[in-house]
Amino acid sequence: MATIKDVAKAANVSVASVSRYLNAPDMVKAETRQRIAEAIKRLDYSPSALAVSMRTRQTQNIALIIQSITNMYYIDLYGALLEAVDRYGYSLSLFTTERSESALRKTIDNVTRNNYAGVILGFLDEPGVQRDLERLAQTLPLVLITCDPSQATIDNIFLDARDGISVATAHLLSIGKKRIAYIGAAPNSVISTEKYIGYASTLEKAGHVPDPKLVFHGLRQHFSTGMEGTAGFLALPRRPDGIVCATDDIGIGSIKQLLVGKVGIPDEIAVAGFNGISVLHSYEPELTTVVQPVQMMADTAMHMLMDRVKGVPPRAIRRLVVKGKLTVSNSSVA
Amino acid sequence: MATIKDVAKAANVSVASVSRYLNAPDMVKAETRQRIAEAIKRLDYSPSALAVSMRTRQTQNIALIIQSITNMYYIDLYGALLEAVDRYGYSLSLFTTERSESALRKTIDNVTRNNYAGVILGFLDEPGVQRDLERLAQTLPLVLITCDPSQATIDNIFLDARDGISVATAHLLSIGKKRIAYIGAAPNSVISTEKYIGYASTLEKAGHVPDPKLVFHGLRQHFSTGMEGTAGFLALPRRPDGIVCATDDIGIGSIKQLLVGKVGIPDEIAVAGFNGISVLHSYEPELTTVVQPVQMMADTAMHMLMDRVKGVPPRAIRRLVVKGKLTVSNSSVA
DNA sequence: CCTCTCAATGAAATCGATATCATTGCTTTC
DNA sequence: GAAAGCAATGATATCGATTTCATTGAGAGG
């Protein structure tokens, strides 16, 4: 690969002029510009991003840290972010933690050492990492996408999951369901608690008493959790007539189990999920869900990041609150 | 962030010694080692990957270039690669081209400027880029994952798509289907042609004549293509009794359309796909498909890359041929 | 006791860019 | 016509690491 020195020599100018040509073209005379341009083309030169970053202490890379790529929601988030990031001329790297704190710490180290321009962190729920995150936020621009309402020390986009699950639950109630079950995942995390509260409080408000036998918590945010939970409900002497699922993946699994068990959807049992992942439309019946404005969330996250990169705002913490929107399909209304 | 200089000062040694401590610890005396280790811990120092890469001209980053993240197959590929890459201590960045040649060129530029350690390219079918790829392969380690049997100038993993579709078609024939349709995507690409040949030649070998009315090519590798094609077939005076789909995504869409149209699966119409994506198990009925050894492909791709990185092998082109394995589900056999 | 290794360390060049400061001609202005 | 301003360019320090080469001191061998 040709370097700036080679270009300078070929164009018979100093490296400084070539650098100027690259970064502030009108500071160099038209004729010189011509010569440099030609040399660059001839040598097929393109500046080393490494060297530029080294000198300017900035890169054009954004990191997205999520738990696992098997969770389809993250794929949508990633896709949305990819677009947003691209629009700013940055590129995006993906890191997964698989819910391990040590993996997260390793990733944080990686990201700082590589001078990423910023980091976006999607719905991590490792409990003991708030401190690490705060330290990270001190080092470089960081935006959290979170369901934790108490997050106040780091820029974040707060998705009201409690509200989302509440809306889903209320919907099942509104279509006349009386025994509504709940399937969650990732117990002991803030997000899990929030969602469960959304479910339980809505039932209570409607005069129902949440039945512990109608609540199942799996480990993974994965359709297998939905299948497992639903299979358990079907074995009950008194089956539920509705199932609220913490995520769409889980809802898909629930529906699959109902189909396998030849249970009528939505007559016998209706199902609702949460997230609004795009592949939902490839299933039949389609899952009623609470759709998140993922693209908007991604855009905003990127925007917040860029503000920090440019040091625009004062040191205040930024926060965006978003809620999902109920989208009814034939898993709850025929 | 602390630099190597700070550490040197704090430990009262030269930067050279700190560097030695980092890269060849036994070249420094135990006592000195102690002091340096302590200083590093105290200053929370970790070497700038940028500076290291700049000096050594190597990074620990691998790039994966694919067409689009909405194609679920790529997600599996990405996941498999993520694991392989991780095992070597590298990290992975994802780039998408959305089937645009210019986007691919931009990505290639990006990847070379950023000194990626290697690039893996998954099933691109932009026609006019072979030259660009060859130039890229000259600059840095590159492995293609491809369905193009004629690829011979760049290290590659060749997936025999023709065989895969042939196996799927033969399977539908073997269960007694007589009018087998085909839905493909991305026309005018090598991969598309290969697959179609797999379909047509198998029919012919069995004494059938491929009926042009039973062949549909959509634009995107997406379930909507499957829905569209299938809807067309259902409108035919003589419907097919089996559908072979070029990819699982398409197969899923086909099944969805059949379900919506209340067509019996597999009795009236059986469906088969190709790829073996992992989310297949979340659908009901499940799609009969030809499963690819994705993890093995990813491992091998990474292995090939590492060989090039270390300059181990002579300049010979490497090639691995893989075939898919038929996996029968209830979309073809009740 | 003097040279010779060899282990341990330091000084300085280097990677490929950017940024600061200095220099060189010209034009402008009084 | 001399001082000043300005446009265009060059020389060089710098980012944070690695690497080569030089230096030092201690123990081995004669």
Position B4, amino acid: I
pLDDT grade, residue A52 (50/70/90)?
very high
pLDDT digits (tens, 9 = 90+) for A245-272: 999 999 999 999 999 999 999 999 999 9
* Nucleotide nearest A7 (Cα, C1'): C16
Residue whose C-alpha is closest to residue B62's, from B110, B116, B105, B108? B116
Residue B21 (CA) to nucleotide D30 (C1'), in angstroms, measures: 37
Buried b or exposed e, range A292-301, using 16+ CB within 10 angstroms: bbbeebbbbb
What the block records as the tokens of B8 is 């040197």
For strand D, list residues 136-175 of chain B whose Cβ lies within 7 Å of it: none
Cα of A224 to nearest chain B Cα, Å: 8
Q: What is the Cα A308 distance to its own chain's centre?
A: 19
Q: Tell me what the mean pLDDT of segment B283-297 comes to.
A: 97
Structure-block tokens of residue A292: 């998140």
Q: Is the pLDDT of residue A1 over 90?
A: no
**Whole-number Å distance between alpha carbons of B180 and B211:** 9
Residue A310 has pLDDT above 90, yes or no: no
Q: Which residues pair with A322 in a beta bridge?
A: A159
For residue A136, the chain B residue with the least C-alpha distance is: B1
Contact, A286 vs A248, CB < 8 A? Answer: no
Closest-approach nucleotide to residue A3, Cα vs C1':
C16
- Positions in chain C where some atom is under 7 Å from a protein CB: 7-12, 14-20
Alpha-carbon gap, residue A149 to A322, rounded angstroms: 11
Residue A87 DSSP one-character state: H
pLDDT of B40 above 80: yes
pLDDT band at B247 (very low <50, low <70, confident <90, very high): very high
Share of residues in chain A with pLDDT > 70 (%):
99
Q: What letter would DSSP give residue A154?
A: S
Chain B: nearest CA to A152, how far in angstroms?
25
pLDDT at position A311 is 74
Please state, in angstroms and rounded to a whole number, the distance separating the CA atoms of residues B177 and B169.
10
Cα–Cα distance for residue pair B188/B194, rounded to 1 Å: 10
pLDDT at A22 over 90: yes
> B1 and A259 in contact by Cβ < 8 A?
no
The residue whose two tokens read 């160099």 is A28
The reported pLDDT for the residue numbered A313 is: 58
What mean pLDDT do residues B70-96 have?
92
Q: What is the mean pLDDT of residues B57-77?
A: 92
Structure tokens at B85: 């890459």
In the predicted model, is pLDDT for residue B126 greater than 80? no
pLDDT digits (tens, 9 = 90+) for A96-143: 998 888 889 999 999 999 999 999 999 887 778 889 999 999 999 999
Query: pTM score, two decimals?
Result: 0.91
- d(CA A52, C1' D7) / Å: 27
Mean pLDDT of B315-332: 94
The pLDDT, as a whole number, for residue B312 is: 65
Rounded Cα distance, B109 and B94, in Å: 14
Q: Which region among A18-32, A219-233, B92-106, B139-153 has the lowest average model confidence (pLDDT)?
A: B92-106
Question: What is the pairing mode between strands B289-291 and B325-327?
Answer: antiparallel
The percentage of chain A sitting over the pLDDT mark of 90, rounded to a whole number, equals: 86
Q: What is the pLDDT of residues B202-221, one digit of tens each?
A: 999 999 999 999 999 999 99
Distance between CA atoms of residues A233 and A228, nearest Å: 9
Name the pairing type of β-strands A325-327 and A289-291. antiparallel
Residue B99 region by backbone torsions, left for phi larger than 0, else alpha for psi between -120 and 50, else beta: left
H helices of chain A, in order, are 4-11, 15-23, 30-43, 49-56, 72-87, 101-113, 130-139, 161-174, 190-205, 223-234, 248-260, 294-309
Arithmetic mean of pLDDT, B289-294: 98
Query: Residue B85's closest chain A neighbor by CA?
Result: A95
Q: How far lies B85's CA from each of B88, B214, B304, B307, in Å?
A: 5, 42, 12, 13
| Number of CB atoms found within 10 A of residue B262's CB | 7
Distance CA B114, CA A196 (A): 45
Predicted local confidence at residue A312, as pLDDT? 65
- List chain A residues with CB under 8 Å of B46: 109, 112-113
